Structure 1
Amino acid sequence: MLPDYKRPFEQKDYRGHFIWTKQLCKKLGVNSFYHACHQEELEEILNTGELNLRSKWGIELPIGSWQAPGVWVGLNDYYNNHYGPFRIKFRLEELIGKSFIAFRRSGDKSRYFFVQYEAQIPIFIKNGSQQMLNKITPKSYFEELDGVYCLKTDAVYDIILTNPISIHRAVIEPVTHQNKCIPQKCLGQTTKVQARRTLIEIAKNELNDRIRESVFIERFIKQFPDMEGRKAEIELPELD
């Protein structure tokens, strides 16, 4: 049998439908969601300016299996992960207003899957309900502590987005990539220190690209024509 994160979703996994709200963002004990990737994938993401739909998710319907494009992110912090040495950190409010269908599985770990699904068309019926959509509150999927919804211990919270999401406000950081690479892009075993070295080089290239493409640099060269084509060292400021 395929692991939980690879198997198509089935009727027995289905829990219902909900919309991500400002209230949910305020209640959750986390304020970010994450995506982990490898160098080639990160460079493509930087080139397009968005986290694109480079994965698949599947569902088992009465008429057969169905697959659709998506991209996997999650509420777990991905500090030590099996997906890649670069972590993209998004603000939780990026999810506000998006519609999700919830699935739950309990295998070696409790896993919760929130799949973005904007069509108001039911794909499953819950407990014989004839409602168009079985509306739920995600509160039951978290542990409530002093009014805050916390991630359950050892639980995995996967979110599958079915629309690309901008990285304009995202933060990109190096993390440890464990020895098992689930997407089979590498042999794993990348330390945070190794990832940081690579990320600094990626960031330098990205900075050069942004400078070359900016209106500022065109004006600068017109003002100082002798600088055209020359290398220039730039010392970046420290942010308060």
Structure 2
Amino acid sequence: MATFSNKTFNSGLYAEFRPIYNKATYDLIYDYHSKKGGQFEVAVDVATGTGQAASHLADKFKKVHGTDLSARMLESAVKKDNIDYQACPAESLPFADASVDLLTTFEAMHYFDTDRFFKEVKRVLKPNGTLAILVYNLPIIKDEPEMNLRFEELVSIALKDSWNTGMDSVKSLYSNIHIIGSTTTEPILEQKMSLTQFKQYCKTWSSYARYLENHTDDPIDEMIDDFAKIAQADDLDSHYITPQWATCLILGTYKQE
């Protein structure tokens, strides 16, 4: 997570080019929350980054708190009247006991001390409150086998030593995480992108930032040049591909003991 706090990290790029969680994902969360007797007063998005999820939650909840360890990320966060942002660790949340209806964390829990995080979740959630955890894997590119082989070279060879240790959890879609009484589902995450947009998405990875700390070449630019050759595309802005991210949504409810 330290890479996201680095002064050289481009939080604006992160805000613009990360994949967008679709309406179906939020509908699954809200439907589960309603059926478990949850209220729609206060939501917390942990490791909110630039506030993508917090912004959606703000359309449904009266008050939303977004937290992130990186104050730099929060500088680019979406602004809405009913959202506030605070820089803090996921394992030490600045909220009162039993004060939160829904707590979400998207594509971030592999950075946490999960035992301490779950204790905090249990502390701040109201009875019948919901915990929603979402993770998505690295993408595959729909109907582009040659590009996928080149993408795998980037991931497994060029950036091999730059991935965070939590990447194994991401690749397994948090299969090592189990919450008693939880349910899991796999909403589809798919997004049409130009080659330029896909390049910029890849450059939001912490592994890329870590790679550049020790190298002068740019493996993502090199990969996109190869993509253009494969597609016989002269203009990176006008040739589109469709990345798909394998996704897992874990939903759980804490009952009052």
Query: Taking structure 1 as the reference length, what is the TM-score of the superposition?
Result: 0.25
Larger radius of gyration: 1
Query: Taking structure 2 as the reference length, what is the TM-score of the superposition?
Result: 0.24
- Structure whose residues are more often strand by fraction: 1
- Structure whose residues are more often helix by fraction: 2
